[in-house]
Chain A
Amino acid sequence: MNVETRTRDGVRIVDVSGDVDLKGSPVLRKTLFGALKEAPKVALNLAAIRYIDSSGIAVMIEGLKEAQRLNRDFVLFGMSPAVLDVFKLTHVIRIFRVAETEEEALIA
């Protein structure tokens, strides 16, 4: 798994790629929480995720709760098929704000 952050139009974008599993999830959590501290809006880019397990979904829920606590905007975008499959199984997609593309996420 690889996680990188960048800023575009004042929005902190977290790009995740590869396999998000029990080993990688704590790294994603740390980066996501750091981004939420730094910017009023954070967009999590899921397009390059090849595999994700429930520990990755748990990090997204923790991120959402942290965003609510800090009064930040938090949006997901770029659902890869791997991510969609797990969201369907866990039934939690409706709790998130989801955009299709990065451009949509910036204005969502």
Chain B
Amino acid sequence: MMTPELHFEARVVMSSDVRFLPVMRHTMGNLTSELGWSESESRTITLAVEEALTNKIRHAYPNRPEGRIQFEIRIEPGELILRLTDQGVAPDPARICEREQDSLKPGGFGTHIIRDVMDSVVYQTTAEGNELILTKKRPAGEGL
């Protein structure tokens, strides 16, 4: 018997407020575990998503917790697709992954973590705002 194709699609609109970070952290942690990633992989995927949200809170809406972030999660047969959109300050391409690896600078880790963990990272500005599209290939034969 063929395994039925599973569908999961969710869209959350959240204020650019750090108090919502644990909510998204738990959602991503649970989802990635159910999809078959190991505990460590689940943790790093969750971290990458949180770094993306944190960047939007800190840089798209600096000191403005009333900003809005649209966060979409979609499961495709072979991959997990995440789309984060804001209508704040667009990211400066020159500052993405600007940090040098051996630097003693305390900041600038987020974009490196996102790039290292995800299979595809796309920054684009559309009529809807500043989009960040993250794709991660799903583990073969495990989980849902």
B109–A58 CB distance below 8 A: yes
Q: A53-B54, A54-B109 are in contact. Are A23 and B43 (CB under 8 A)?
A: no
Nearest A residue to B53, CB-CB: A22
B19–A85 CB distance below 8 A: no
Q: Give Cα A24 to B102, complex, Å.
A: 25
For residue A89, give the distance in angstroms from its CB to the closest CB of chain B.
Answer: 5
B106–A61 CB distance below 8 A: yes
For residue A43, give the distance in angstroms from its CB to the closest CB of chain B.
Answer: 20
Q: A54-B110, A58-B107, A91-B101 are in contact. Are A22 and B54 (CB under 8 A)?
A: yes
B residues less than 8 Å from A53 (CB atoms):
47, 50-51, 54
Say if the beta carbon of B113 comes within 8 Å of chain A: yes
Nearest B residue to A86, CB-CB: B47
- How many A-B pairs with Cβ below 8 Å? 67
A19–B22 CB distance below 8 A: yes
A residues less than 8 Å from B133 (CB atoms):
none
- A side interface size, CB within 8 A: 23
A residues less than 8 Å from B47 (CB atoms):
51, 53, 85-86, 89
On B, residues with C-beta under 8 Å from A are 18-19, 21-22, 25, 39-40, 43-44, 46-47, 50-51, 54, 57-58, 101-102, 104-107, 109-110, 112-113, 116-117
Q: Can you list 25 residue pairs at the A/B interface with Cβ under 8 Å?
A: A19-B22, A21-B18, A22-B21, A22-B58, A23-B19, A23-B21, A53-B47, A53-B50, A54-B109, A57-B106, A58-B107, A58-B109, A61-B106, A64-B104, A65-B104, A81-B39, A85-B40, A85-B47, A86-B47, A89-B109, A89-B113, A90-B109, A90-B112, A90-B113, A95-B104
